[in-house]
Amino acid sequence: MYSVGSIILFLVGSSFSNNLPSYIPRCYLDDPKLNECVLRAFNEIRPYVNNGIEEIGLPPLNPFVVSKLTVQQEWSLANYTLTATNYTIEGLNNYDIKEFRYDPETMTFRFKIEFHFLPMSASVEIDGHVIHIPIKGKGFVRVAYGPISAIFEVKGDMKKLKGIEYYTTKKANVGLDMGDGSFNFEGLFDNNQLLVRTTNEMLNANSAMVMKAITPAYEKLAAKGVMRFMKTLTKIPYHQLFPSSR
């Protein structure tokens, strides 16, 4: 279950590493300008992220496709179960990294990344409601969100395996501001066109509230994606991920 969140950390990790493709810039933990270095690294690897970076398990980012995911939200403003197939996000390579901080004492990363606009699409099966607008059936959906601002915080710990130290992830939090949204479902309600059109109209007319209602689900997905990504990344020993210049 990858998501926007998973991607970001891939890049951060890769920019530190020693045994990685030569086009990935090296940033050193004892560099007083570490944060600037990481910000620059993000921009320098941009041309390579479309097709992914196999060495660190980075999947292709443009488009970024999740073959299957399930989302369940249960609260008064959004209560639904959604299964999405071929969940496709376009334009993830157009990230704009705004802030990066790594605190080696607490082993915590914190960074902020922005996107103007992200179109997404998926085949869906959904049952429930969002802000009391019923959504039910099988179909296809296109949505677009933006501007998006994402803050990631990843806390870790040190683990020793056969004398080698590794970063191990304890917790990932993602805070999202997804801006406004547009929604276009097809085929729901057994392809009842009138109901589908009315649903789309209601969702779009109330998009600010819809975004508020569904954002927690995206935050959870992003955090899960980060945890999954970190599993791959943290197979690289800590001192390769975070080398010193000396």
Ligand X SMILES: *[C@@H]1O[C@H](CO)[C@@H](O)[C@H](O)[C@H]1NC(C)=O
Q: What does the binding site for ligand X look like in residue numbers (CB under 6 A)? A: 74-76, 79, 85-86, 123
Q: C-alpha dihedral over 161, 162, 165, 167, to 10 degrees?
A: -20
**Using CA atoms, how far apart are residues 51 and 53, in angstroms rounded to an integer?**
7
Taking residue 238's Cβ as centre, other Cβ atoms within 10 Å add up to 20
Cis bond upstream, residue 59 (ω within 30): no
The CB-of-86 to ligand X minimum distance in angstroms stands at 4
Alpha carbon distances (Å) from 64 to 12, 172, 241: 18, 21, 25
The CB-of-102 to ligand X minimum distance in angstroms stands at 37
**Using CA atoms, how far apart are residues 46 and 92, in angstroms rounded to an integer?**
10
The CB-of-68 to ligand X minimum distance in angstroms stands at 9
Q: With respect to ligand X, which residue has the nearer C-beta, 75 or 161?
A: 75
Taking residue 94's Cβ as centre, other Cβ atoms within 10 Å add up to 14
The CB-of-79 to ligand X minimum distance in angstroms stands at 4
Q: With respect to ligand X, which residue has the nearer C-beta, 50 or 72?
A: 72
Q: With respect to ligand X, which residue has the nearer C-beta, 85 or 94?
A: 85
The CB-of-142 to ligand X minimum distance in angstroms stands at 13
The CB-of-77 to ligand X minimum distance in angstroms stands at 9
Q: With respect to ligand X, which residue has the nearer C-beta, 25 or 128?
A: 128
Q: With respect to ligand X, which residue has the nearer C-beta, 59 or 243?
A: 59
Q: Is 116 left (phi over 0), alpha (psi -120 to 50) or beta?
A: alpha
Q: With respect to ligand X, which residue has the nearer C-beta, 166 or 189?
A: 189
Q: Are 96 and 166 in contact (CB under 8 A)?
A: no
